[in-house]
Amino acid sequence: MAREHVPPGQIASVRPLGTGLGSARTTALLKSEQLEVVRLVLLAGSELREHSAPGEITVQCLEGCIEFSTPQGVQTMTAGDFVHLRRNEPHALKARADSSALLTLCVA
């Protein structure tokens, strides 16, 4: 059964998963007409190959260590780091350690 998104006005936790990270899965928290919010879970060595998004995005590393690649180069993100990309900007992610991140995508 598909998990329901967080209803408007309801509080949802995006705290680090800690010891539960290894068994967690990527989860869509919100999908609306203008906005999509996803908790990405990337285990060490896993990656999201180069792609682009139709709208602006932000990625905030919640825990772990993620290599974030764009045409401008590779940056390392750790807990608390945040990045913004314009729409259609190519990027890729690779987990250097078990990691989770909060992805926000503008869809309108």
> Domains in the chain, ordered, with CATH?
30-106 (2.60.120.10)
Closest of 35, 95, 105, 12 to residue 61, by C-alpha = 95
Beta carbons of 42 and 66 less than 8 angstroms apart: yes
Q: What angle do CA 55, 28, 43 make, to 5 degrees?
A: 100
Residue 9's pLDDT is: 87
- Tally of residues, the chain: 108
Residue 1's pLDDT is: 41
**Mean of per-residue pLDDT scores for the chain:** 93
Residue 54 has pLDDT above 60, yes or no: yes
Residue 41 per-residue DSSP state: E
Joined tokens for residue 5:
């998104």
Joined tokens for residue 108:
């309108």
